[in-house]
Amino acid sequence: MIESYVVVHNIAKRHNVGTLARSATAFGVSEMILVGRRDFNAFGSHGSTSHVHFRHFHSLSDARVFLKSKDCDICGVEITDNAVDVTQHPFKKSTAFLLGNEGMGLSAKECEICDFFVYIPQYGGGTASLNVTVAASIVLHHFGVWAGYSERTRDGNKYVVAERSARQVRRSFCAEKPESIIEMRRSRRENASNGFFDGSGNDVSSSSLLDALFTDE
> Which one of residues 35, 44, 74, 78 is an interface residue with ligand SAM (CB under 6 A)?
78
> Which one of residues 6, 17, 21, 106 is an interface residue with ligand SAM (CB under 6 A)?
106
| Binding track over 132-171 against ligand SAM, x by CB under 6 A | x--x------------------------------------
Residue 100: DSSP 8-state: P
Residue 186: DSSP 8-state: H
Q: How far apart are CA 34 and CA 137, in angstroms?
A: 17
- Closest approach, Cβ 118 to ligand SAM, in A, equals 7
Q: How far apart are CA 109 and CA 90, in angstroms?
A: 23
The verdict on 63 binding ligand SAM (CB under 6 A) reads no
Q: How far apart are CA 160 and CA 152, in angstroms?
A: 7
> Which one of residues 32, 34, 60, 99 is an interface residue with ligand SAM (CB under 6 A)?
99
| 32: three-class secondary structure by DSSP | strand
Contact predicate 210/197, CB 8 Å? yes
The verdict on 100 binding ligand SAM (CB under 6 A) reads yes
Q: Which is nearer to ligand SAM, 62 or 102 (CB)?
A: 102
> Which one of residues 114, 120, 147, 174 is an interface residue with ligand SAM (CB under 6 A)?
120
Residues 175, 178, 182, 185: what is their CA dihedral angle, to the nearest 10 degrees? 30
Q: How far apart are CA 112 and CA 106, in angstroms?
A: 10
Q: Which is nearer to ligand SAM, 9 or 56 (CB)?
A: 9
Which residues sit at the interface with ligand SAM, rule CB under 6 A? 77-79, 99-100, 102-106, 119-120, 122, 129-130, 132, 135
